[in-house]
Structures are given as structure tokens and as C-alpha cells.
Chains A and B, each alone.
Chain A
Amino acid sequence: MNNWIIMPAVLPAFTAAFLLLTLRHRPQAQRIVSIVATALGLLVAIGLAVAASDGVPQAYRLGDWPAPFGIVLVLDRLSATLLVLTGLLALCVVLYASAGWDRRGQHFHTLLQFQLLGINGAFLTGDVFNLFVFFEVMLIASYGLMLHGGGPARLKAGFHYVAINLIASALFLIGVGLIYAVTGTLNMADLALKVPEVVPADQGLLKAGALLLFLVFATKAALVPLHWWLPATYAATSAPAAAIFMIMTKVGAYAILRVYGLVFGAEAGALALVAAPFVLPAAVVTLLLGTVGVVGSRSLRSLSAFAIVASMGTLLIALGLFDQAGVSAALYYIVHSSLAGAALFLLAGLVLEGRGATGDRLLPGPAMRGEVLVGGLFLLCAVAMVGLPPLSGFLGKVMILEAVRSSASWPWLWALILGSSLALTLGFVRAGSVLFWASGPASSETRRPLAILPLTAIVLLLALTGAWTGAAGPAMVWMDATARQSLDRASYVEAVLGPTNQRSAGLGE
């Protein structure tokens, strides 16, 4: 058993406790510890990705309890890829926040580490109830991060955010309850085996449970009509918090892939692909509404938030195919949209700070310090988000267009994706020209020099999207293998529950 599998959860947990207990009043030391721990977490994630690259999923039995009874963590290519992505994103966010954002409230680094614990745990766990627990850890930390810095607008939006997530958690528990009541297990591998054998009388209950769970994941992934929380929350919170939340919508997409690609996947008998009829139509409307939101936004943060909604729509159109090409394109796009979205939110934070009273509203205001540099970075962020070459959004969209060819309605999907790209371009052009071209003379409040760390973080994120384009060949090979593995029920079940012949022998005893 590879003990390193638990490290992505243990490391942030201990770091957070350490920060809270010993470094409460030493902000400089907090920053150093937080940066070092996040970098170590990234190294562990890369190590795990290397370990997962042989293509065999590995299970880690907590407390060494045998699989369907104890909780397992499962490391495969999919979870390893997302762990590395989380590590990269977290490192950039910690760097950005260390320039001063973390002092606007208390315990920023502690909350961020707890958030990483929840996210990493959710990516690793092989048990549905444990997934709920890690979701809650992630959400509790995100409530703190979302409110970091305070202010009336943030408190109001925070109340909504917490209330919506509490309702989603209640639905999650009801869904889990129904699934347990019918199958008697919550271990994902065991569920994958038991779901096809459920008697017809109970299939209705199980389907209700599965679809309730889908509602929860769709809320996290901001699928229409459950996306309303996202623009309000992301536009009201601070830039580093919004940037790390970028990975939280991806946790929703991951959970949809894991549960509806594997447990209720193609081999699940009467309940095969139970969520698939809903994902694609909802994703289409999500893309449409996100695009309309981008064109109609009145502030840069709200525009960025709607751009995220649109990117989730694009991503879930590909994921909703639940075939290898679709999942593979969606995974490539997940990496791209997390990096580009985070860069855009971090940049929106700089704009908000740099324009004095005008803030990030899309109105002509005083010129900000380093306008050319910030404007140039905005151009790159916009290019990445819209999906123009040379950054990875272009390749991501090409792959998604290629993947949807297998769908019967592909001409419509092509028209939608390409049309929305055009509208997104218009929205970003409008924002950029108002923010950086229509600016008046600099006023005294906009003369503050730009700090070096935030710029480093943004440049790093954009460089990563550039590198993701450069490495598209190997990345595509990796993602193809990842997609194949994530839809392969047999190898996952074997990793968790042992080979088939031993299982039947165990039952006979």
C-alpha cells in the first residue's frame, strides 16, 4: 500500500493546525510556512501523478480495514491530474495573497490550507459518504475565504452562498440515504457492482437518489438552473478566494464524472448513464446564459464570473458525452479553464485595487499604474478565456468540437460553441477598451506602485496555460489514457476490492 496517497490530505491538515496554533500572530512566518507547504503539496501531487502513470488505480485503505467496510482513497490518473492542478493553482494564489491580501482578515492561510484538505480529499476518496465529508470541509473553509475581508456586499452574498450550500448538503444526504437504503453500501467500487443487480422494484428509489446527488454536483458545477449562486459569490469575494474557488466548480464536474461515469456508468444495467440525458441540455443552456452574462456585465469581476459559467458550460458539453473522446477533451479543458479563470480573477483584483473609486466597474476612470502591463495581461487572459490561439483555450475548444462530432446534434453544438466564442470576444473587447483605453489622467489614489508578487502569480498562471498549449501532444496522450481509465469500471473495482476470483472466494467462506 502506497502511504503517500494520504499525504495530499494530511499535509494541508497539519499545516493548517500548525498555522493556527503556533503562528497566529506572526503573519510573515505564516506566509513562509503556507508557501512552503503548498509547494511541498504540489511536489507530492507530482510524485503521485508519476506513481499513477502506470495506469493501474491504487487503493489506500484507511486504518487497513478491508474495502467495502472501511473507507478507501483511490489514486488513479484522474485524481492525480486534478491534484497536480490544485497544487499549481494553490501555489499561485498563495503567492498572490502574500503581497498583502492575507492581512485584510484573519487566518487566510489557515483557511486556504483547510480548503486544500477538502479539495484534495474529494479528489481522492472512493466512498460516497466520505465525499460528502470532504465536500463539507471544502465548503466550510470556503465560507471563511469567501467572507475574507468583510464588507456589507460580501456578507449579503456570503449568506446566500452558505444557505444554498446548506440546502445542497441536505440534498446530498437524502441522496446518499436513498442509495444506501437500496444497495446497503456507499463504497464507490462496491456500488458499481451492486447497482446493476438492484431488483426492478427498488430501481425507482435508487434512481431518485442518484438524480438528487446529481442536483448537488450540478449546483457545485454551476449548471443552469443551479448556477445563480456563482456570479454573485465570485463577484463579491476577494480575488485570491475567487481564484481558488475556480477548482471548486471543477470538483463538481469531477464528481459528476466519477459517479455517473463509473457507478452509474455504461455498465450499470437499468440505471446506465442515468444523468447523461440531463447533462448535455443543461450544459448548452449554461453556455448560453454565461455568454449573455459576459456581454451584459457591468463590472470586471461579474464579467469574469459569467465567463466561468460559460466555461463550465463548454466543459460539461464535452463531459456530458460520457465517451472517451468527450471526457478526454473535457479534462484538457478543465486544466486550461482553471488556470485561465484564476489568472482573470487575480487580474480583476489588481484592476479593482488600482482604479481608486471607480473600482472594477466598466466605466471610464483614472488611468491605473502600470496600465500597459496590466492591460497586456488582461489581453492574454481574455485570449485564454475566449479560446483564441496561441493559448490553450483554443486547443481545448478544438478538441471539444472534435469530440461532439459523435453526438447527433453536433451541427447545433458547433454553432453554439463557435457563436458563444464570438460573443465572449465582444464582451471582453468591450471591457478591455473601457478599462484600459478610455481611461483619464492618473489621480493621486491610483499612483500606488504595483506589487511584484501578484504580477508574478498572474504571469505564472498565464505561462502555464501557454505551456499547456506547447505540451498539448503529450497532454492529449495522458488525457486519453486518463479518460479511458476513468470510464473503466473493472480496473477500479479490482483496485479497491481485489481480483474477481478472490472476491467470490471471500463470499463463499
Chain B
Amino acid sequence: MEMLVASAIGLMTATGLFLILQGRSFPVIVGLTFLSYAVNAFLFAMGRLTVDRPPIITAGAAYTDPLPQALVLTAIVISFGMTALIVVLGLRGFLETGSDRTDLSLADAAEEHGPAPAGEDARRERDGAARA
């Protein structure tokens, strides 16, 4: 079981990191979600992996550590809220700049030389929409 959980966490982290390094906001958001899944599973495992044990100490009986479960709950709430926030942020960024690229070059250009012409991405999006 340890092998399975560990490799699952490793795979999710690797996927998350790969997606975060992409240049568009959607893969970055999905990557962040993967990373937070990996972290949640990791936090569970840190209280040692036990199956079918209650998180309550009774004399003589085996138990599982309840603290990681409380920590995971907090982590899930926070990462869920943050994912919602960054989705909205990515969407607003796309609507206001006409591009979902995550580099700052467009924004910089707008600041240095006045509003930039609509980027290649926006054109491509529009063409795509027209074709559809």
C-alpha cells in the first residue's frame, strides 16, 4: 500500500509541476489543483497508513492519528477556495487582455507604449469562434 500511495503522490506532483510550467493560465490552474491533491494525500500519509482503525484512543485498541485528518480538512478548504479564486482571476485576465498567456509581456507593452494591439491569441480565439 505504501508503494501505491507514494507513487500516486509522486505522479500527481510531477503532473502538477509539469502543467504549472506551461505558458497558459488553464494548464497552470489544473496543475495547481493536481499539486493540492498530491499535498492532501501526502498529509494523510504522514500520520502513517492504517486501514480500518478509528481515530479515537481506546485502551488496548489500535487507532489512527486524527490530527492529519484535521490538517487535511483545513488544507482542502483553503486550496478549494484558492482554486476558485484563481479560476476567476484567469478568466478576468483573459477577458481584459484578450489572451490567456501567463507571461507579462503584453501587459508590459500596454504600460510602456499605450494599449497594445489585440494579440495573436485573441485573433486566433476569434477565428476559432467564427469557424465554430
Interface residues of A (CB under 8 A from B): 129, 133, 136, 140, 143, 147, 150-153, 155-160, 162-163, 166-167, 169-170, 173-174, 176-178, 180-181, 232, 236, 298, 361
Contact = CB atoms under 8 A, between A and B. Distances in A.
B93 A174 contact: no
Contacts, number: 102
Contacts of A176: 71
Nearest to B90: A159
Interface string B50-93: 00000000000000000110010011001101100110011011
Contacts of B102: 156, 159-160, 163
Contact of B107 (A143, A153, A173, A180): A153
Nearest to A359: B111
A156 B82 contact: no
Given A156-B106, A169-B78, A143 B93 contact: no
Given A170-B35, A170-B36, A178-B46, A147 B93 contact: no
Given A159-B25, A178-B46, A166 B32 contact: yes
B89 A167 contact: no
A167 B46 contact: no
Given A152-B96, A162-B85, A166-B82, A232 B35 contact: no
A166 B28 CA distance: 11
A163 B16 CA distance: 12
B111 A153 contact: yes
B20 A152 contact: no
Contacts of A153: 104, 107-108, 110-111
Given A156-B106, A162-B85, A170-B36, A177 B20 contact: no
Given A133-B74, A143-B85, A152-B110, A163 B28 contact: yes
Nearest to B95: A155
A163 B79 CA distance: 11
Given A170-B79, A232-B104, 19 more contacts: A129-B71, A129-B74, A133-B74, A140-B85, A143-B89, A147-B89, A152-B107, A153-B107, A153-B108, A153-B110, A155-B89, A155-B96, A159-B89, A162-B89, A167-B32, A173-B43, A174-B39, A180-B71, A236-B107
Interface residues of B, number: 39
A163 B87 CA distance: 11
Interface string B93-104: 100110000101
A358 to B, nearest CB: 12
A181 B46 contact: yes
Nearest to B96: A152
A190 B97 CA distance: 50
A160 B28 CA distance: 10
A176 B20 CA distance: 22
Contacts of A167: 20, 32, 35
A177 B89 contact: no
B81 A152 contact: no
A163 B39 contact: no
A142 B92 CA distance: 18
B9 to A, nearest CB: 10
A52 to B, nearest CB: 29
A137 to B, nearest CB: 9
B1 to A, nearest CB: 16
A133 B74 CA distance: 8
B86 A180 contact: no
Most chain A beta carbons < 10 A, residue from B79, B97, B107: B107
Shortest 5 CB-CB contacts between residues of A and residues of B: A181-B46, A153-B107, A177-B46, A156-B107, A155-B93
B46 A159 contact: no
Given A153-B111, A180-B67, A163 B97 contact: no
Contacts of B82: 140, 162, 166, 169
A182 to B, nearest CB: 9
Contacts of B28: 163
19 contacts: A129-B74, A140-B82, A152-B106, A153-B108, A153-B110, A155-B96, A156-B104, A156-B106, A157-B104, A158-B89, A159-B93, A170-B35, A170-B39, A174-B42, A176-B71, A177-B42, A177-B43, A177-B45, A177-B71
Contacts of A166: 32, 35-36, 79, 82, 86
A153 B74 CA distance: 32
Contact of A162 (B67, B86, B108): B86
Nearest to A164: B20
Most chain A beta carbons < 10 A, residue from B32, B43, B81, B111: B111
A152 to B, nearest CB: 4
A173 B86 contact: no
A150 B78 CA distance: 24
Nearest to A154: B107
Most chain B beta carbons < 10 A, residue from A156, A160, A181, A236: A156
Nearest to A144: B85
A199 to B, nearest CB: 16
A146 B119 CA distance: 25
A140 B81 contact: yes
Contacts of B46: 177-178, 180-181
A136 B75 CA distance: 10
A177 to B, nearest CB: 4
A166 B85 CA distance: 11
Contacts of A298: 112
Contact of A163 (B32, B42, B78, B111): B32
A503 to B, nearest CB: 21
B69 to A, nearest CB: 12
A232 B108 CA distance: 10
Nearest to B109: A153
Given A152-B97, A153-B111, A177-B42, A163 B20 contact: yes
Nearest to B35: A170
A163 B96 contact: no
A152 B94 CA distance: 9
